[in-house]
Amino acid sequence: MKKYILLLLIAAMSCQTKKEPVDLLIKGGTIYTMDDKNPIVEAVAVKADTIVYAGLLAEAEKYLGDKTEIVDLKGATLTPGFIESHGHIMNLGYNELNLDLMSVKNYDELVAKVKDAVAKAQPGQWIIGRGWHQDKWDVKPEKMVKGFQTHEKLSEVSPNNPVFLRHASGHAGFANAKAMQMAGVNQLSVEKLGTNAVEGGEVIRDKFGNPTGIFNERAMSLITKYVPAPSKETDAQALMLALNACARNGITGFHEASLDPKDSERQDQIFEMYHEFRNDGRLTVRLYVMLSGWNRKMIQEWYKKGPEIDLEKNLLTIRSIKLNCDGALGSRGAWLLEPYTDQPGTSGMATLSMDTVMKTSRDALKYSFQVCSHAIGDRANREVLDRYEIAFKENPEKKDHRFRIEHAQHLSPRDIPRFGKLGVIAAMQAIHLSSDRPWAIERLGEKRIKEGAYMWQSLLKTGAKVINGTDVPVEPINPIASFYASVTRKTLKGEPQGGYEGEEKMTREQALRSYTLDAAYGAFEENIKGSIVPGKLADFTVFSQDIMKVDERELLKTEVLMTVLGGKKVFEKK
């Protein structure tokens, strides 16, 4: 009898410990969860696209079944999937299809690249590229106007092919003589229109009044309206290249910071493509799309139908509006409270009416959309915060708005506390510190840099969320570089000792949170992703070394070994 009772007890205990078999079990490395109650675990179990267990290996093994795939990390480090909080996915793809100028070291190298492209092109075919940045060149051209090169050398190597090359920031463009001829831009036409040929933009001219080939901010439209739109096939190719780049770099979520601002037909075409990729399984990153606030007709149409939130697959959500409120520091388009230190005659410019910011903020609250305003200069940030605050006060019942400022790169000290007070998210790209800080001091001067530029720790202390990214293709999509910049505030060469304004560094925990859980919060998605917790989506990034502990001198050697989206590998390093 006693033996029978013992057998019953054993059987009962077996029933209690038996778990439904899972599809995937990951073990054998350091697993950071971003769950304060359970920060480091030994194993994770996944059923379909969802995490069912995160904890001790012995407990996780109770979920094993005959068909369970086991991934042994072999000492590598696993984190929640990294989220690019501000990038341009189609431009990322097109950077691989068109001329990529991010690595050119000077004007002569740029000209040589264009010359090679012309040799392969048909006469009259447009040469398109992006990525040059004159402030990062090792040698400056002899002839410069307002800090930019002029078109003569470029035009000489491309007499029969129109050329348009966007600045790395995307806030200026460089055209050759053929492109300007096609667009009807010359000394007389610009004089007739005035220097600010387009509201919120500038055609830069030499001392004789001739266009230099540089089109700042919205003046780029004088040229871009003549550039042929890509075909559907080319768009699909670009998107596939971008998705592959995301997977290689451990990116499982991507906040698309708006598409072409004016062409509604093209926007519809790209949205249709996003849906096709989602429906047929080709969309291997979770897309959170911002609508361009410059396209007012499209915005009104979206207000009528409301946000699109993908509750079925969690792959494609459209619920925010991007407003481009000023330019960039590199092109001196960032809107400042005081003039530029290296060009006292200008303080930058607003590229969008503040009345539009005000109206959009009010309407977005009414129709349940988020507003994400590009603001780099301290005046642009203040003006946007002012409009947000008015809208919030007018709509006190709207508690969870999560309005954002994209970049928030340079702030007045008095405006920093307003982010936490108002609940405004600072969507910043730490890698900009590494790339821009060495020359940005020329633009702003030492006092403004130290008191208000790249103020990550100060913003976090106000209670604000700081979310991270790269602004790809302004910078390469590599999140390790941005993580490194977050925790060191150094250039990618490791300079200077101690970092620029070292007191503003993020801790490693803050940096990881900015790329995972807080990034998910920036898209209203922290309840479904951003941490390794049962019930959340099984999105993971596997790194070759422990980014939370490895010496900072070794951080940049970290490689992405695997990317998992919804429990399925979308990249594995061979």
Which one of 475, 506, 537 terminates a domain?
A: 506
Summarised one tens digit per residue, pLDDT across range 278-299 is: 999 999 999 999 999 988 989 9
Examine the pLDDT at 4 and tell me if it is beyond 80: no
Q: Check pLDDT > 50 for residue 412.
A: yes
Question: What would the mean pLDDT of 554-570 be, rounded to a whole number?
Answer: 98
Which CATH number fits the domain that encloses residue 401? 3.20.20.140
Burial class, 534, CB count within 10 angstroms (exposed 0-12 / middle 13-18 / buried 19+):
middle
Cα–Cα dist 236/270, whole Å: 9
**Of the candidate ranges 64-73, 204-213, 378-387, the one whose mean pLDDT is the lowest:** 204-213
Taking 80 as the threshold, does the pLDDT of residue 196 lie above it? no
- Residue 193 pLDDT: 59
Closest C-alpha among 106, 100, 105, 111 to residue 176? 111
**pLDDT band at residue 192, thresholds of 50, 70 and 90?**
low
- Alpha-carbon gap, residue 388 to 423, rounded angstroms: 10
pLDDT at 185: 85
Q: In the numeric block, which tokens belong to residue 571?
A: 């990249």
- Average pLDDT rounded to a whole number, residues 296-322: 96
| Residues facing residue 69 across a β-bridge | 24
Q: End of a domain among 476, 506, 536?
A: 506
Helix 296-305 and helix 264-280, axial crossing angle in degrees, nearest 10? 40
Q: Are residues 498 and 378 in the same domain?
A: yes
Residue 19 lies inside a defined structural domain of this protein: no
Q: Is 157 part of a structural domain of the chain?
A: yes
Identify whether the C-beta of residue 508 lies closer than 8 Å to the C-beta of residue 547: yes
On whether residue 499 sits in a domain, the answer given is: yes
Find the range with the poorest average confidence among 36-50, 230-244, 532-546.
Answer: 230-244
Predicted confidence (pLDDT) at residue 354 exceeds the cutoff of 90? yes
pLDDT band at 80 (very low <50, low <70, confident <90, very high): very high
Q: How many domains does the chain have?
A: 2
Question: Is residue 26 one of the residues assigned to a domain?
Answer: no
Taking all residues of the chain, what is their mean pLDDT, rounded to a whole number?
92
End-to-end CA distance of the chain: 59
3-state secondary structure at position 520: helix
50 pLDDT higher than 90 = yes
Residue 133 domain-assigned (yes or no): yes
**What pLDDT digit, counting tens, does each position of 222-264 carry?**
999 898 888 899 999 999 999 999 999 999 999 999 875 556 6
Contacts of 252 (CB under 8 A, 6+ apart): 81, 82, 83, 246, 285, 286, 529, 539, 540, 541, 563, 564, 565
Q: Which long-range contacts (CB under 8 A, 24 or more apart) does 143-147 make?
A: 145/204, 145/205, 145/206, 145/207, 145/212, 145/214, 146/204, 146/214, 146/332, 146/343, 147/332, 147/342, 147/343
Look at residue 191 in the predicted model and tell me its pLDDT.
63
**Cα–Cα distance, 534 to 50 (Å, whole number):** 7
pLDDT at 93 over 60: yes
- Phi and psi at residue 168, in whole multiples of 5°? -55, -35
Q: Which residue has the higher pLDDT, 410 or 199?
A: 410
Q: What is the 3-state secondary structure (H, E, C) of 102-146?
A: CCCCEHHHHHHHHHHHHHHCCCCCCEEEEEECHHHCCECCCCEEC
Domain CATH number, residue 200: 3.10.310.70
Domain presence at residue 286:
no
pTM attached to this predicted model: 0.87
Average of per-residue pLDDT across 115-144: 90
pLDDT at 15: 43
User: What's the pLDDT score for residue 239?
Assistant: 96
DSSP state of 350: B
Asked whether residue 200 falls in the same domain as residue 334, the answer is no
Q: Do the domain assignments include residue 303?
A: no
Q: Residue 263: its pLDDT value, please? A: 61
Instruction: Find the domain containing 353 and state its range.
Output: 325-506
Q: Is residue 122 part of a domain?
A: no
Q: Are residues 346 and 197 in the same domain?
A: no
| For residues 426-451, average pLDDT | 96
Same domain membership, residue 331 and residue 215: no
- Rounded to an integer, the average pLDDT of 456-466 is 98
Query: Phi, psi at residue 148, to the nearest 5°?
Result: -120, 155
- pLDDT above 70 as % of the chain: 94
Q: Of 480, 506, 532, which residue is a domain's last? A: 506
